[in-house]
Each structure stands twice: as structure tokens, then as C-alpha cells.
Amino acid sequence: MRVLNVAEKNKVAAQVSQLLSGGRCRQTNSCATYCKIYEFPFQLQGQQVEMVFTSVAGHLLELEFEPRVKGWHSCAPRDLYDASVHKGVPKGENEKIRRNLQQLARTCQWLVLWLDCDREGENIAFEVIQVCTEVNPRLTIRRARFSALIYADVARAINNLALPNEHEAKAVDARQEIDLRIGASFTRLQTLLLQNKFDWSEYAQDGRVMLSYGPCQFPTLGLIVQRAWEIQAHIPENFWYIQVLYRDGPKACEFQWHRKRLYDQAVAAMLHELCIAAPLATVTAVEGARKTRWAPVPLSTLEMQKRGSQYLRMPGERIMRHAEELYQQGFLSYPRTETDQFDQNYDLRGMIEAQAGGGAPWSAYAQRLLAPESQLFRWPKPGGHDDKAHPPIHPLKHYPGGDREKEALFEFIVRHFLACCSKDAEGQETRVIIDIGGEGFTATGLMVTERNFLEVYRYQSWGGQDSLPVFQQGQTFMPAAIDLKQGTTQPPPRLTERDLIAKMEEYGIGTDATVADHIQKQLERGYAIKDEASMQFSPTPLGEALISAYRKMGLANLWLPTLRGVIERNITAVAAGQRTKDSVLAEAVAAFRTDFEAAQAQSHILEQEVSAIVFGGAPPQQGANHGGPGGGGPGGGGGGQAFGTCRDCTAQLQLVLNQEGPPSILCSAFPMHRLRIDLPRCTQAVAVTDQLCPSCGHGPVKQLSFRFRPGLLPPGFPPALTCCVVCNQDFKRLLEIVGPTRRAAPPQQQQQQPYGRGGGGGRGARAMQAAASGKQVERLQLLLLSKRLAAAKDEHAALKAALYDEIDAQRESKKAERLRAKLQQLALHEAAINRRLCFGVPPGWESSDSQASSSQASSSAGAAEAFSWGPWQAGTEVTYATAQPASNGGAAKPQLQVTHSDRPVRLQRSSQPFAIGGLRAAFYAQDEAGGRFVLKRTLLESSRLHKRVKEVHADAEAAALSSAAAEAFSAALRGKAKVSYLAASVVVLEDAGCSGGKAVYLKEPWMASSASGKWVKWSRNDGHLFAEGEGCSTIQAFTHFSLHWLGKQLGCPAIVLDAQGILAGTHFTLTDPAVCTADQRYGKPDMGLYAITAFLAAHTCGPECKACACAGTGL
């Protein structure tokens, strides 16, 4: 009987043949250049057989579209989602490999598959089966499973042949088809749209470029771009800290402040002065503790890439290539494994013994590890992952060397293996705590007592200030220095390869075998670059432009990792036999088809972003309309580009693009007319358009085109805006929220003295002025702490006026920036004063009617308000409710029901709130029948009653929608849990302290947590989830369910967040929800797509999600 054996690579076929034949196999050539044939006699299952070994070279078949749609212009890219696909043998070497396999299969009775023991290997195995059974369908097929190219492992595999796993092969088929359809469609969309509209000569030799898209490639790029945006959005902030130094001869140490750092210089300086006034330090405690540094767990593929890129400064792609070669040569176990724990039947001592000889630098340590008297050996701690296919990566025998990178990688793997088999390192930590002027400081020292695994694992160090002087409790000493130091907050660092791999692992992007390839693709496509010195990644302008375009389109699935993580989990379920290939494929393709159609409809955004970010604002096939480098104008003379008439004089408004500093808008009559229009701090690029503002009546004014830094924008604000800077309210609102850019002096006036009051003051005068303002701030803080609110308000007004005067005097100097920072501090003080004056602190009760009569005189301004009150009289109550009961799977859209009782609703309300949140204040209330309620009032409410009614009505409608969604969710769970919301209504009450003499409240029944359960908060309105606490999984499932249910009701993405309330058993009684929608229709709590995306990124589906059929939906 002849047995055909097929390995994945020729080296593996040769190695296994040598091991099974005892080195007596005969080798012949085949029709395939790189696939030899090895033959030898063998005893298989008690029968003498002729073993015939050959190999393939990776995948034998290739998934491809039908011929009619394979050309770039053969069909619309959208048609690729429906076009048929098939697996075929690509032309070239693979045709020769197929011919070799079929020639051998005709004369064999058995087929044994020695492909790599992972999903890809299983898929290749079925490709080999397909090719061989075409010529010999009677073959008996078996699978050999092995992890190392050593005799023991190979012999175990041949004696325990099994059947191939079709589920794992189908999982790979599903991934291949998803990647083909999505990648091809978006690649064609991007390339055909952009390749002829810009000059790509810098990006491709022939001036044409292929802008590829990959479902794993773009979420990986998204991680790199997101970090770049975080760095761009970082605003440096100064902080101050106190540093204490001790020195006694050669011994010295530094004490760390318990407060770490303060962002208020005045407070830090005050505390520093207290320390200076009483500088004698007292040792209040000397503490000792035993510390342990854990040895590493066994090595998995991803951990090898992460640690290797950090310790060896080697890219993950090269690490995997070298590891594969070491495996094929028999020096390493199989390098693609998720397992990080050794089974108890492994001969670890035998593996260590293989490294104890040969004179390697680690050989002596391996000998000590084997010696019983050293007591150094310890069975490795499990890492918690076992793929049931391969053991952790470990060395098999000594590597003789020859390639420097391979040597370095092999040495790291050996040292890691020896370290994980060693005892943990032990040390003794000493903490000394001192007190100076009421402030606490700590110094810490660590002495390593047992290095253990650290002796061989040279990639890590441990130990700090081990030369800590000896201190005794109660001891006093005079420090060598007590200094007030200043620091500046730093942006997050760029992602290293280790960081990027860790994030990809966290979000489930790719597999342990493909992660390195996805990273390498970013560099090859020109979407990202890597600094070889720091091993950190940055996006190129092209990479940022593509991600920014999809972000602006609102297509988070195309660049955020959430959907790809869902797809990878579904593919894993196919490999486990829990789902079918067809269902996973249909689900993923449907989700991406929707996103593709949306991207195609908004393709102009892709052009705009590439134009703005890659080509400096030049429109497709047109010249740039931005100013030149000389100063913004066409002539580059330093004046600026005129775009309209000044509203106060006959001069021109100019956009000045400064070479140093941000752009600015000035009047051309400056300095005679000192008009300046600030630009928002988030401005990244600005240009003059040809569109005239239709609203400005004083003269023609062209609109400006802005592009903003995404990380600095408030939630829901578009990343680009074309508007008039003179009259557009959205522009003014953005400027109010994020603040202005750092001002630069106008080019004409950079050499002149500051214009305005105080500009000629000397250095001494400015110092006296700064000292005076510093004392005023300190006095204001003391007044606030002592609750002297009226005096604090007067002090605040005086200080604010003085600061504005000083800012005007120092308008063009750096001093003005520090003064503006002080103004921001005052804004916080002002908020505190207003809140305390408006709401007070101790709770009390009074009638809303009596309150109205007692302060009727103050309502004259409100009574004159030009507004038709209509039905909104005092006592009006309006409720929202669903028109019909909700049922599983949907409910009618809530309809507004206005209720006017025969007599006005009368409530007795507490005069002060019992709680104040970020958006509302909550009051106790009671009706005439004794019923107790809670009234909620918006803190920053409008002066117009109809706007106040609209704001509170948005909250009430959100509550009704949330209640309907909760009913549908509870019905879907079929009694396992119940979620409900308190009924909410809108009431209008007399209140002479409000504009118009009327206050608008959201009314809810009062509930006490002590009576029925305990109060819990599960999420915020920005999508943040609180992972701890009872009921988390149920509430998260409800939130996920609401995303689908509300989307159907409202016709746009929407979700219920800000979950809080009382939990009693399995009954959740919730209140005060926030409904977040894509168009932010529900007022200030609605944080839009930002909140929806944040929830999806943090949420993992659990049993409740599956019970209500919202898991695995592709969202």
C-alpha cells in the first residue's frame, strides 16, 4: 500500500521524512520546482507501506470572482457584493504543484495531511483533498497533528492519525470571502474615485496609485490615526509640585509629594510657603513590605511579537518569518499558538537539559535550574489560554547560529522559557513618610533579595532607590532642599509596535498569525510610517485623510475596530461548529453593503479630505485656493487675503495665514481700527471660498472653509464647516465652547509697542500688578471657602474687570496667555458662586405659590417678555405615552398626549434642591393629596419660556421612548428580568424668580432606595460603562437592545444611556435616561454618535443579548 503524505512546505516534508525513515529516505524531483518527493518504507498501523512525502507552498487554491467582474471597469463596485466567487488554482507554480499531487494520488490508497495545525493549515488540507480526490475519489484521508519537528512529536502524530476538521476550514473560507468582497469593493471605490483627480507622482512611480482597503487593515490604521488625533488635541497644561531632597554625606534620596501635583499655582505656592515657614521634617512612619516580581508566563505568538518588538527592536513581520524558519529547521516548536500554559505531561526538565550544554551564555543558568539543591525550578504559572492544538513556544535544541537576527530571537525564546520555569524574584521595600508644614511626602527604596528568574531574563530590571538612608520613626531632620517645581502635561506617546499589537489583540483584529501582516500592510501601502529609532507609528497624510473621510461620513464600522471584532468572534464560532459559514457571511456582507452604499453616496467627502490633508487644500484638478507662504494673500506681501468689507469701516477684512502661529482675521485698517475675529482653537486649516454670505447686509463677505482637529471638537460638531465668520451662529458657538487660538501679532505691527491701557508699564509695575491680582484670587478663594457668597461675588466682579484691563494692556505679549488662563480659573469660581446663590445648600420646604407672591416685584422683566403663553399657564401638565402597548420586537412610536386638568396642578416644592448634577437640579415636591414627587429643572435654561418648555419636553419624550424600549426588552426576556422607567411629565409652576414668572420642571414619582432596593448607576450619557455592580450584564443588554429597537422607531441610530435607578432582585426601576441619536435631537444630554460608538467599543454581548436576539447583529 502506498501512502501519500503532504506537508505545507518542502522543508517540513524533508524533516518529517528524515525523522520517520531514520535518515534513509530517497529524494527525487517532481514537476514542481520547489516541491521534492521523499520515499521510504514504513510500518503504519501494523502494516508495511510505502511512504511518499511531498509538499505544497502555502495555499494551493485562490478565491476569486467570476471572470465577468474581474476587470477594474467591468462592473460597478457595488456589484461585487452579489457576484459569484469560486476557488481555482492560480496560473504559474501552483499548477505544477497540482499536477504533482494528482500524479502521486493516482497510485496511492491513503492520503495523510501534514499541514500546519492551525485554521489556515486545515483550510489548505481541504484544498489538497479537493485536488487529490478529483483523480482518486477512493482515497482514505487522515490528518497528522504535531507541534514540533522532533521524533517524539512526529511519531506521536503518525500513531494517532485523526480526521481533518471541516469547521476550521469553513471558518477560513468565510474570512476569505468577507475580505475579498469588502476589500475589492472599497479598493475599487477609493482608487477609481481618486487616482485621476490628483497628482500621485510622489506616491507611485507611474503617477497612478492603488488605494487599497482591507477589513482588518483599516481598523488597524484607525488605531494609529486615533492616537495621532489624541496627540494633536492635547493642550499642554502647567502644573506645580513640591520636591524635597535629603542628603547625608554620600547618602541621598528624594521624597515625593502626597498630592502629586496641583494645577493651581497660587494654591501650590501657598502650600510651599507653609513648608518653607516650618521646614523641619518629621518622620511619621517607616514601613517595610516584601515585594515579588513575577516570572513571565509561557510564550504565545502574540506575546512573542509584543516582547520581541520591544526587547529586540525587530518588526513583528520579521519575528514571525525568523520563527517560522527556526521551526522548519527543528530548533523551535510551532510558532503560531495562542496557548500560554504547559500541560503537566510535558518534560520541561528535558527541554531545559537541551539548553544546559553547548557553551551558550545561558547554559550555566540552565544547569543551576536543573540542580535540586538550588531549588530554583518551579512549574510555569499558567497564562489562562489554551488553544488545544499546540503548546507554548519553546526551544527544542541548541541553535548553532549563523544569522544575527535569528540568533537574537532564539536567545530571547530560550531565556523566556528558562525564566518562566524559574522562581519569582523577591525583594524588600522600605517606605519612609515624613511631614513638613502639614504636607506629607514619601520616599521608597527597594532591595532585591533573590533575583531568581532575573538572572537569566536580562530584558527586565527591577529595583529602585536601594541606597535609601536609614530613618527612625519620630526622627526630625532639615531637608537639603524644598523646591516648588513646575511641569507641563504631555500628550500620549505615539503607538509602538507592542502597543499596536496589544490593541489589536484587545479588539480582536486579525489572528495571532496575521497581526504582523496587517501592521506591515500599513507601511507598504503608504498609510503609516514607523520611526525606526523609537519604533513608533504615525499616519501619513494619505492614511489620515482616508480615516478622516469615513469618520466624517459617520461610517464608524469602516475604521473603528468594533465590527471587525464581531466578525472575528463569529468566525471563531464557525471554527467551533457553533455557527454556519453562510449565516456569518451573509451577516457581515449585509453590514458592509450598507456602509458601502453610504460611502458611495458621500464620495465627495473622500475627495475633500484627500484634497485638504494630502494636497494642501487643492481641489481636484484645480489650483489651490489657500494663500501662499508669504502671508496669506495671492501676492505674498504679508498683508492677507481679502474676503469682505469690514462692518465698521470701509476697509477690507483679511485672512492672515501666519508662517509662525495660527491664522487670524483682521481689518486692513489695523491699528487704527483694531478689529480682530478670533478663530476656534480647534482650527486646522482655513481658506477663502467664492461663496458670498446671503445674510450680511453691510457689504459683500465671502464665506470661509474650515477644517477642524477632530480631537478638539465637541461631540456632534462636524469636522468641516463652510460659513460666514461675521454672522454664523454655529461658528460663534464653537468659538465659545473651545476658545480662541493663541494669538499672534499682526505682521505689520510685530515691532510696535502693545496698544492700549498699561502698554508702557515697566517691569516693576507689571510685577506689582501681578502680585495684586494674585492676592485678589487668594482672597476670593477664602471668601468661597467661608461661604461669604455676596462678598465673593463682588470680589469676583472686581478681579474680572482688572484682568480684562490687564489683558488689553498686554494684548500682544505672552503675558496675556497666562492672564487668560487665570480668567478660566475665575470662570470656575463664577460657576460656583452662581450655583450656590441660586440653589443654596440646606434643603427646606415652601409653597411654589407663596414663593411667587413673596417676590412678585422681581418679575417685571419676565412679564414683559414678548411671548404668547398660549396653553402654558401655571399648573399645565403634559405627558408623553405610547399609543398602544409595546410588544416583543417593536412598539408604536410614542405620541404626545397633552393633559389639561379642570384645575391647575398645585405642588409644594422645596426651596432648595436636594441634588445638583451636571445638567439639572432636583427638588422634592408634594401635591395636595400627599403624593411625593421629584421635580428636575435645567441648570442652564433659556430666558424664553417656549425654549425652556422645548428643552424639558425633549427630556420627557426621551423618558417615554426609554420606557417603551424597556417594556419591549422585558417582554423579550420572558420574565427573566424586568426593566421599567418612572413615568415622566412636564409641569409649569409659578416662580417669580424665573423669566416670565414661570418655571418648567420634569416631574417624576419619588422613590426611596432604602425601601425597595439599592441605588445603582450603570452607565453615563457619553457611553461610558461602569463594569462593577449587580445587574451590569442585564442593563448593558437592554442598552444594546435599545440600539436596534429605537433605530426602527426613529429611523436613525439611537440608544438609551445614562442608566441609573433602583435594583430589587431582578426588577430594575430606572429614572432620568438619556436618549442619544445620530442627529442629537434630544437636547443637551444627547451626545450623539460619540456616545453610541463609545458604548459599542466597550460592550461585550452576554447571555441576555442572545436571549433578546441582539447579539451578533453586526453592529
Give tens-digit pLDDT for 653-676.
888 876 555 788 887 765 555 577
Please list, in sequence order, all residues whose beta carbon lies within 8 angstroms of the beta carbon of residue 927, skipping any fewer than 6 positions away. 905, 906, 907, 908, 933
Residue 648 has what DSSP assignment?
Answer: S
Please list, in sequence order, all residues whose beta carbon lies within 8 angstroms of the beta carbon of residue 156, skipping any fewer than 6 positions away. 146
The pLDDT value recorded for residue 578 is 94
Higher pLDDT, 156 or 912: 156
The pLDDT value recorded for residue 991 is 74
Higher pLDDT, 438 or 1111: 438
Helix (H, G, I), strand (E, B) or coil at 1020: coil
The pLDDT value recorded for residue 301 is 92
How deeply is 531 buried, as exposed, middle or buried, from its count of CB atoms within 10 A (0-12, 13-18, 19+)?
Answer: exposed
Owner of C-alpha cell 440600539: 1043
The pLDDT value recorded for residue 628 is 32
Residue 491 has what DSSP assignment?
Answer: P
Task: Give the lowest-confidence range in 209-213, 228-232, 993-997.
Answer: 993-997
Count the Cβ atoms, other than its own, within 10 Å of residue 975.
Answer: 8
Q: What is the mean pLDDT of residues 632-659?
A: 64
The pLDDT value recorded for residue 793 is 57
pLDDT tens-digit map of 233-281: 888 899 999 999 999 888 889 999 999 999 888 888 989 999 998 999 9
The pLDDT value recorded for residue 734 is 81
Higher pLDDT, 1097 or 374: 374
The C-alpha atoms of residue 807 and residue 736 are separated, in whole angstroms, by 18
Choose, from 334, 365, 880, 981, the residue flagged as catalytic. 334
The answer to whether residue 566 scores a pLDDT higher than 60 is yes
Sign, Cα dihedral of 459, 465, 470, 475: negative
Q: What is the mean pLDDT of residues 784-805?
A: 56
Contact 306, 501 (CB under 8 A): yes
Q: What is the mean pLDDT of residues 204-212?
A: 70
Higher pLDDT, 314 or 806: 314
Judged by phi (left if over 0) then psi (alpha if -120 to 50, else beta), residue 990 lies in: beta
The answer to whether residue 948 scores a pLDDT higher than 50 is yes
**Radius of gyration of the chain, Cα coordinates, nearest whole angstrom:** 36
Judged by phi (left if over 0) then psi (alpha if -120 to 50, else beta), residue 699 lies in: left
| 166-194 helix and 562-575 helix, angle to the nearest 10 degrees | 150
* Chain-centroid distance, C-alpha 541: 20
The pLDDT value recorded for residue 2 is 94
The pLDDT value recorded for residue 225 is 94
pLDDT tens-digit map of 75-109: 999 999 999 999 999 888 899 999 999 999 999 99
Count the Cβ atoms, other than its own, within 10 Å of residue 637.
Answer: 12
The pLDDT value recorded for residue 220 is 94
Question: How many percent of the chain have pLDDT more than 70?
Answer: 77
Count the Cβ atoms, other than its own, within 10 Å of residue 314.
Answer: 19
The answer to whether residue 943 scores a pLDDT higher than 70 is no
The C-alpha atoms of residue 396 and residue 149 are separated, in whole angstroms, by 9
Judged by phi (left if over 0) then psi (alpha if -120 to 50, else beta), residue 316 lies in: alpha
* Phi, psi angle pair for 574, to nearest 5°: -65, -45
| 515-524 helix and 497-507 helix, angle to the nearest 10 degrees | 120
Please list, in sequence order, all residues whose beta carbon lies within 8 angstroms of the beta carbon of residue 933, skipping any fewer than 6 positions away. 907, 924, 925, 926, 927, 1003, 1004, 1005, 1006
Give the pLDDT band of residue 652 (cuts 50, 70, 90): confident
The pLDDT value recorded for residue 1012 is 55
The C-alpha atoms of residue 895 and residue 882 are separated, in whole angstroms, by 6
* Domains of the chain with bracketed CATH: 2-164 (3.40.50.140), 174-234+514-611 (1.10.460.10), 238-294+427-488 (2.70.20.10), 301-423 (1.10.290.10), 644-745 (no CATH), 771-839 (no CATH), 881-1107 (3.20.200.10)
Count the Cβ atoms, other than its own, within 10 Å of residue 591.
Answer: 18
pTM greater than the 0.75 cutoff: no
Q: What is the 3-state secondary structure (H, E, C) of 340-392?
A: CCCCCCCCHHHHHHHCCCCCCCCHHHHHHHHCHHHCCECCCCCCCCCCCCCCC
Helix (H, G, I), strand (E, B) or coil at 158: helix
**Mean pLDDT rounded to a whole number for the chain:** 80
The C-alpha atoms of residue 593 and residue 589 are separated, in whole angstroms, by 6
Contact 240, 262 (CB under 8 A): yes
The answer to whether residue 180 scores a pLDDT higher than 80 is yes
The pLDDT value recorded for residue 832 is 45
- The grid coordinates of residue 621 equal 484638478
The pLDDT value recorded for residue 864 is 28
Question: How many percent of the chain have pLDDT more than 90?
Answer: 38
365 is catalytic: no
Q: Which of 307-321, 836-850, 1023-1037 has the highest mean pLDDT?
A: 307-321
The answer to whether residue 567 scores a pLDDT higher than 60 is yes
Helix (H, G, I), strand (E, B) or coil at 1054: strand
The pLDDT value recorded for residue 400 is 85
The pLDDT value recorded for residue 699 is 75
pLDDT tens-digit map of 131-174: 999 999 999 999 999 988 889 889 999 999 999 999 999 999 99
The pLDDT value recorded for residue 766 is 40
The C-alpha atoms of residue 697 and residue 641 are separated, in whole angstroms, by 21
Paired strand residues for 1056: 1075
The answer to whether residue 918 scores a pLDDT higher than 70 is no
Count the Cβ atoms, other than its own, within 10 Å of residue 1044.
Answer: 20
The answer to whether residue 46 scores a pLDDT higher than 50 is yes
Task: Give the lowest-confidence range in 417-431, 446-460, 577-591, 1026-1040.
Answer: 1026-1040
Residue 67 has what DSSP assignment?
Answer: G
The pLDDT value recorded for residue 663 is 80
The answer to whether residue 979 scores a pLDDT higher than 50 is yes
HSE-up (13 A, CA, CB side) for residue 589: 21
User: Any idea how long the chain is?
Assistant: 1115
First to last CA, the chain: 54
User: Alpha-carbon dihedral of residues 691, 694, 696, 702, nearest 10 degrees?
Assistant: 0
**Is the preceding omega at residue 1103 within 30 degrees of 0, hence cis?**
no
The answer to whether residue 836 scores a pLDDT higher than 70 is no
Paired strand residues for 447: 428
The C-alpha atoms of residue 1015 and residue 1009 are separated, in whole angstroms, by 6
pLDDT tens-digit map of 721-768: 899 988 888 888 788 777 777 543 333 333 333 323 333 334 333 433
Strand ranges (DSSP E) for 385-477?
Answer: 425-436, 439-450, 476-477
- The grid coordinates of residue 882 equal 405610547
The C-alpha atoms of residue 38 and residue 104 are separated, in whole angstroms, by 12
The C-alpha atoms of residue 632 and residue 655 are separated, in whole angstroms, by 7
Owner of C-alpha cell 496589544: 502
The answer to whether residue 1096 scores a pLDDT higher than 50 is yes
Residue 540 has what DSSP assignment?
Answer: -
The C-alpha atoms of residue 716 and residue 552 are separated, in whole angstroms, by 11
Contact 525, 547 (CB under 8 A): no
* Chain-centroid distance, C-alpha 65: 35
- The grid coordinates of residue 634 equal 495671492
The answer to whether residue 835 scores a pLDDT higher than 50 is no
The answer to whether residue 1108 scores a pLDDT higher than 70 is yes
